[in-house]
Amino acid sequence: MPLSGKVESGQPRSQIRRQSLVYSYVPLHVSSRYIFWKDFEEFEINFEEKYKELDPEMYPETIEKVISKGSTPAGMHISIMVDEILEFLDIQPGQVGLDCTLGYGGHTSKMLEKLDGQGHVYGLDIDSIEIEKTTQRLRNKGFDENLFTSILTNFRNIDEVSEKYGQFDFVLADLGVSSMQIDNPERGFSYKKDGPLDLRLNPKAGRPASQILKELSREDLENILLENSDEPYADILAKNIYSFIRSGMEVETTRQLYKIIDKTLNFIEDKNRKDIVNKTAARVFQALRIEVNQEFEVLNEFVEKLPKILKPGGKVAILTFHSGEDRIVKKTFKEMKNSGVYEDVCRNVIRSTKEECHRNSRAKSTKMRWAIKAK
């Protein structure tokens, strides 16, 4: 897309606006015939409209430009470590696999391609909003009901899935939150945009973070920050958040929580203070998200049930994104290898390449571990 785009006289303003959203540029000036564009980064577009209107598959060249700059286009998720996963799983036509975290469907799509029209992949997701979009996205790519089945359930329920569909040759679990969830302010996963302080992976189940915060003691909140994100300012943050709520003030939105974090760290005089505050906010939101969704409990159930759903010689790959997750996977794999459940496990964690981290900044914290069930 050039830096200027021609518009026919009489073209509806809605269509002009749609072009500005699709191409991640906004118009500086609109005449009867031309729009002059300026890079989107200098402006802020209402995300709800951008998210709703952007269809990545329709604009591959524009999406590639955004990705090449190390950004993730709104409403899209870039799958991480695809090559490494496919190399390890070594998927063969006729096999049956399970993607425990369907998300945007990027990993699933690549695994389905390896089946070459023979076999089946089942995809699990707890997100009732995104699973319908992803299922349709995969159908549009030609993966019909004979090749792919989506199932709305938490991956802690893999034993129930296996009871119905049998054991699997390969299993994948990507424990990261999808970019679509992070980027959508209505989901409340990020401090960067104002929205309800929700943080639920399944917005139709459980309680939002704003409600849970009201019920936590100061000590419980501090423990959550320490255990779920290794937060160095856990003590003072828990104290101030707890005091703020107990004083009768509301913490219902993401920006309200961010402002408390910002004010709590007002003693920091470092020139990089803003960066320190943002990183602290990211850790606080992560800790609350883990608590809201019981992510550690779910992961512990999942890794314990894994061997039962794998065929002899079956393979599993797991992507983790913070130390708490990785500790659970590493410990369980090691114990089960020593007990003979697994024939082999990953000895050294596998990281994303520098090239991938450049293309996708969210890959920087990713760790991959794998295991092979004993025959």
Domain 82-179+296-373 has CATH 3.40.50.150: yes
CATH topology of domain 184-293: DNA polymerase; domain 1 (1.10.150)
For residues 110 and 83, give the distance between their C-alpha atoms in angstroms, rounded to a whole number: 9
pLDDT at 201: 86
pLDDT at 68: 53
Residues 6+ apart with CB under 8 A from 29: 35, 36
**Residue entry with tokens 């419980």:** 220
What are the pLDDT tens digits along the chain (375 aa)?
333 333 343 444 333 333 333 333 333 333 333 322 233 333 333 444 444 434 555 555 554 555 455 454 444 558 899 999 999 999 999 999 999 999 899 999 999 999 999 999 999 998 888 899 999 999 999 999 999 999 999 999 999 999 999 999 999 999 977 666 676 788 888 898 899 999 998 888 889 999 999 999 999 999 999 999 999 999 999 999 999 999 988 899 999 999 999 999 999 988 899 999 999 999 999 999 999 999 999 999 999 999 999 999 999 999 998 889 999 999 999 999 999 999 999 999 999 999 988 888 888 889 999 999 999
In order of 101, 182, 185, 198, 274, the CA distances from 126 in angstroms are 8, 15, 19, 15, 34
CA angle 304, 308, 314 (to 5 degrees): 105
Assess contact for 5 and 28: CB atoms under 8 A.
Answer: no
Assess contact for 279 and 233: CB atoms under 8 A.
Answer: no
Parse the chain into domains and list their residue ranges.
Answer: 4-68, 82-179+296-373, 184-293
For residues 150 and 134, give the distance between their C-alpha atoms in angstroms, rounded to a whole number: 9
> Distance between alpha carbon 207 and the CA centroid of its chain, in Å?
20
pLDDT at 250: 84
pLDDT at 147: 97
Question: Mind giving me the DSSP string for 259-298?
Answer: HHHHHHTTT---TTHHHHHHHHHHHHHHHHHHHHHTHHHH
pLDDT at 361: 80
